[in-house]
A and B are shown apart, each in its own frame.
Chain A
């Protein structure tokens, strides 16, 4: 562990070393491994991280996020804010200025028309754009001149950094994609596989789900970058093989998402050929409590609906007791090692939105949990299982099939049985669990179980849409084909009022306070959501690769133009 920290420090030192005298293409070739190989390089046609991240080597937005979650300018000449007049005082528009003299990799100039086209491309009704959420609420994109882009919103947008910001919302070249609007999107194979971009690299060859060969963009705006002349992004295998290729054989310089078990992490880190990089974003593994009755005795269409409150979990004391019985640190040690940390927050980051004082759940308290259940009237029966009014305290606990989740299930079951709760475990194939098929009883939205476990996060740095998921009108049910996001069927008018207040608040300090209040309402105060582990990203980088900074707010390739070979 010491060695790893030292190496990490070394890499950081290199990251900040001045690379001013570097020359484009001077450092030869760099090998990157995305074990889930990229399927397309058009992020508007795929929401997969592997596709978005690889595409970000080629395509860029007006702005992006740095490793601290701050907005940084890319194609734009500075970040517009209310202070500098770039964002309208009433928050209904944002005006971006392009850097003058920008060129696409084919040599043609980048203009505001490209941005307008990109908006039209993604909002076309027949296109099935995967990133349409980035353009939600945008009513028009105006182009007063070649360098000015004005994005108009239907209503005040406290967070205007959505459209054209970050790897999920890059600018496409209008000339290249002109014939690819709407239903024609999937006929444009050449465009989707080899987009013309402004990023540090240009696609030379694209082999679907296998290899992307890239070379330095001759028209990149910084003439000294990138330091690498060519890059290969290879796919295939699994996380363990990917980690091995960087940490043990040294064939690759960077491997994405090398999520492996803690013992293997330690063993591989000892090799000295590479270092594991970890960073924390907003992904939280949690147990969701069902506030409605999932009993199979109810008629189909009434199970897990607001008509019937949950007979056991409606009691807040039971929910609190269940949370208190869990030792989150043990879960981290078993499942994630350095790539996880215990948390009590639904919004664990960015720093300004995360409630650092919400740490009450971090210490396991079996006795306290037992006491709470006693108070709630659940008394231990002859077989060690608690009973109340002749009813057993029995819970069905479901999750997706995944080795770490099954370990978690077993551990949590052990703790819950210790406090007198009988637990039945169930795991469902991820493609069914997350498949959202309204006809299947096993989707996480239908929630035909008492508690369920999975991980969720939010895109970007603003938790508003994420917290808005817990509004009363977003409860999944038969009337909306089970397509709501309020999985717990939580409903509190006071909470809804806070969501509406946040949507109308621009002041960051006030927004942060609102987010913390809502976070506490869902977790600490009601234990509707029981956060377990804040899951970080874990990637591996060779010790010979410099300039790597892991960024959890944008793509991992966000600063590939600054990568260089350590000599």
Chain B
């Protein structure tokens, strides 16, 4: 298992390098220019100066290598400095965002808390709703509950978040006035009152995203359960006189969870990636909002860095999912 993990980790290095090149080229060669963000009232000479100061005039390979160096050397060094108060990174140029003319990584760090709280909670809520629905739907296949569960999943699948989000805003924000429509990122939870405030402002984005997440996972859970319910070992367990509860929750559920855990693990990078539409809709202003803002603003360094961080996360969680699979299922051994 250990050698397998190590081999996968080593293999990840060329994979990530290749991904970094593809991302860099895709973002860079795509049509569009940061110049389009400069108003037309700015004269051409000034425009040219601004672009020069951004460094967009350097040749492509120089910018790629510089970016790699900044990503893998300068930025970690800066992180080290920030942690231990050293000054190793002094004088080294960091990855600078075109939009804010400031380093990219602190901007990302600033966005993380709200994304992790809101999107993370939504994912957790989604999983917590989905598992019981999936289990019971499978156990009582074609029952009224199963039909409802299917309908719930269908709605979650087919209604896009920009639509459900707007409906929620109009119903709960405008008509009922229960929840704020804009998320306040400066709110600090210090006491009971601010905690309640935090819950209220999280309610709508969490509901919208939770619904979408739960829909997908509940279907996986249901089909995995159904598959296992028909297995011989279930019949054997019943024949041995075990209670339905033990059969379903111990034998069937445990075995059914194996693929579902993998699916859940593979979905975790999306928490870090944020939710572009939902974040924008409710003003959560996390990573997703940062990404779409950077794309709109032709902020290439920000887009490249964010996209590459997502790539790293996806590669990592793929590895984690594979290892988890091996740990959970004794039949699977990699060595």
Q: Give complex CA distance A136, B185 in Å.
A: 40
- Which residues of the other chain, A, contact B52 by a CB distance below 8 angstroms? 128
Select A193's contact among B48, B97, B102, B290, beta carbons within 8 Å.
B102
Please, which residue of chain A has its CB at the minimum distance from the CB of B48?
A483
Known: A235-B285, A437-B33. A249 touches B177 (CB 8 A): yes
CB-based contact B283/A434 at 8 Å: no
A259 at the interface (CB under 8 A from B): no
Interface pair B46/A130, CB less than 8 Å apart: yes
Cβ–Cβ contact B35 & A437, under 8 A = yes
Cβ A192 vs Cβ B102 within 8 A: yes
Interface residues of B in 22-44 (CB under 8 A from A): 31-33, 35-44
- Residues from chain A with a CB closer than 8 A to the CB of B282 are 237
* Residue in A129, A185, A189, A205 with the greatest tally of chain B CB atoms within 10 Å: A189
Q: Is B2 an interface residue (CB 8 A)?
A: no
Count of residues in A whose CB is under 8 Å from the partner chain: 64
Query: Is A484's beta carbon under 8 Å from chain B?
Result: yes
Q: Given A47-B42, A484-B44, do A432 and B50 touch, yes or no (CB 8 Å)?
A: no
Minimal beta-carbon separation of A469 from chain B (angstroms): 9
Point out the residues of chain B lying under 8 angstroms from A418, CB to CB: none
Residues of chain B contacted by A464 (CB below 8 angstroms): none
Closest to B99 in A: A39
Q: Please tell me if the beta carbons of A436 and B49 are within 8 angstroms of each other in the complex.
A: no
Within residues 48 to 106 of chain B, which ones have a CB less than 8 A from any CB in chain A?
Answer: 48-54, 96-97, 99-103, 106
Q: Which residues of B contact A431 (CB under 8 A)?
A: 31-33, 36, 298
A234, B33: Cβ atoms under 8 Å?
A: no
Does chain B have a CB within 8 A of A109?
A: no
A205 contacts B102, CB within 8 Å? no
User: A210 an interface residue at 8 Å Cβ cutoff?
Assistant: yes
B326 contacts chain A at the CB level, 8 A cutoff: no
Contacts of A232 in B (CB 8 A): 184, 186
Give the B interface residue count (CB, 8 A).
56
Among A42, A126, A208, A235, chain B packs the most CB atoms within 10 A around the CB of A208
Number of A-B contacts (CB under 8 A): 171
In residues 160-193 of chain B, which contact A (Cβ within 8 Å)? 169, 173-174, 177, 180-182, 184-186
Known: A207-B110, A436-B47. A248 touches B174 (CB 8 A): yes
B31 touches A133 (CB 8 A): no
Is B267 located at the chain interface by the 8 A CB criterion? Answer: no
Instruction: Assess whether A435 is in contact with B31, with CB atoms less than 8 Å apart.
Output: yes
Tell whether, in the assembled complex, residue A37 and residue B35 are in contact, meaning their CB atoms are under 8 Å apart.
no
Q: Is A457's CB within 8 Å of the partner chain B?
A: yes
In the bound complex, do residue B110 and residue A189 qualify as a contact, i.e. CB atoms below 8 Å apart? no
- Interface status of B209 (Cβ within 8 A of chain A): no
Least distance between A65 CB and chain B CB atoms (Å): 15
Do A457 and B41 contact each other (CB < 8 Å), given the known contacts A248-B174, A435-B31?
yes
State the CA gap A45–B52 with chains docked (Å): 13
CA A125 to CA B49, docked complex, whole Å: 8
Query: Judging by beta carbons under 8 Å apart, are B298 and A237 in contact?
Result: no
Q: Which residue of A lies closest to B54 (CB)?
A: A128
B280 at the interface (CB under 8 A from A): yes
A236-B182, A245-B182 given; A130·B42 CB < 8 A: yes
Are the C-beta atoms of B101 and A40 separated by less than 8 Å? Answer: yes
Is the pair A237, B46 in contact by a Cβ cutoff of 8 Å? no
Q: Is the CB of B31 within 8 A of A440?
A: yes
Is A524 interfacial (CB-CB < 8 Å)? no
Q: Which residues of A in the span 112-128 have a Cβ within 8 Å of any Cβ on B?
A: 125-128
Q: Mark A34-53, 1 if CB is under 8 A from B, else 0.
A: 00010110100111110000
Q: Does A33 touch B at the CB level, under 8 Å?
A: yes
In the assembled complex, which residues on chain A have CB atoms less than 8 Å from the CB atom of B36? 430-436
A207 to B279 Cα, complex, angstroms:
16
B102–A189 touching, CB < 8 Å: yes
Bound Cα distance from A40 to B299, whole angstroms? 14
List of B residues within 8 angstroms of A186 by Cβ = 96, 101-102
Task: Report the nearest A residue to B279, measured CB to CB.
Answer: A236
Smallest CB-CB separation from B284: which chain A residue? Answer: A236
Rounded to whole Å, the gap between the CB of B166 and the closest CB of chain A is: 9
- Chain A nearest Cβ from B236, distance in angstroms: 57
Which residues of chain B have C-beta atoms less than 8 A from A49's C-beta? 39
Determine if B259 is an interface residue (Cβ-Cβ < 8 Å): no
Contact B35 A435 (CB under 8 A): yes
Query: How far, in whole Å, are A485 and B33 apart by their CA atoms in the complex?
Result: 18
Residues of A within 8 A of B37 (CB): 47-48
Question: Chain A's nearest CB lies how many Å from the CB of B299?
Answer: 9
Residues of chain A within 8 A of B186, CB atoms compared: 205, 207, 211, 213, 232
Within 235-269 of A, Cβ neighbours of B (below 8 Å) are at 235-238, 241, 244-245, 248-249, 251-252
Q: In the complex the two chains form, is A234's CB within 8 Å of B39's CB?
A: no
Given the known A-B contacts A40-B101, A128-B49, are A236 and B32 also in contact in the complex, defined by CB atoms under 8 Å? no
| Chain B residue at smallest Cβ distance from A484 | B44
Known A33-B182, A209-B99, A429-B32: A47·B285 in contact at CB below 8 Å: no
Asked if B281 is an interface residue, CB under 8 A from chain A, the answer is yes
CB of B102 within 8 A of CB of A208, answer yes
B285/A236 in contact, CB under 8 A = yes
Interface status of A459 (Cβ within 8 A of chain B): yes
Q: A107 within 8 Å of B by Cβ?
A: no
B181/A192 in contact, CB under 8 A: no
B108 to chain A, nearest CB (A): 10
With A133-B42, A192-B101, A205-B186: A432-B174 Cβ-Cβ less than 8 Å: no
Q: A48-B37, A129-B49, A483-B48 are in contact. Are A234 and B182 (CB under 8 A)?
A: yes
Picked from B31, B49, B173, the residue with its CB within 8 Å of the CB of A432 is B31
A-B contact pairs, 24 of them (CB 8 A): A42-B101, A46-B101, A128-B52, A128-B54, A130-B46, A133-B46, A189-B102, A192-B100, A193-B102, A207-B285, A208-B110, A209-B99, A209-B289, A232-B186, A234-B184, A236-B284, A236-B285, A236-B289, A248-B174, A430-B36, A434-B35, A436-B36, A436-B47, A456-B40
Known: A133-B46, A431-B298, A459-B41. 13 other contacts (CB 8 A): A40-B101, A185-B101, A186-B101, A209-B107, A210-B185, A211-B184, A211-B185, A236-B284, A237-B182, A429-B31, A433-B36, A434-B35, A436-B35
Residue numbers of B with Cβ under 8 A of A are 31-33, 35-54, 96-97, 99-103, 106-107, 110-111, 169, 173-174, 177, 180-182, 184-186, 279-285, 289-290, 293, 297-298
Interface residues of A (CB under 8 A from B): 33, 37, 39-40, 42, 45-49, 125-130, 132-133, 136, 183, 185-186, 189, 192-193, 205, 207-211, 213, 232, 234-238, 241, 244-245, 248-249, 251-252, 429-437, 440, 442, 456-459, 465, 483-485
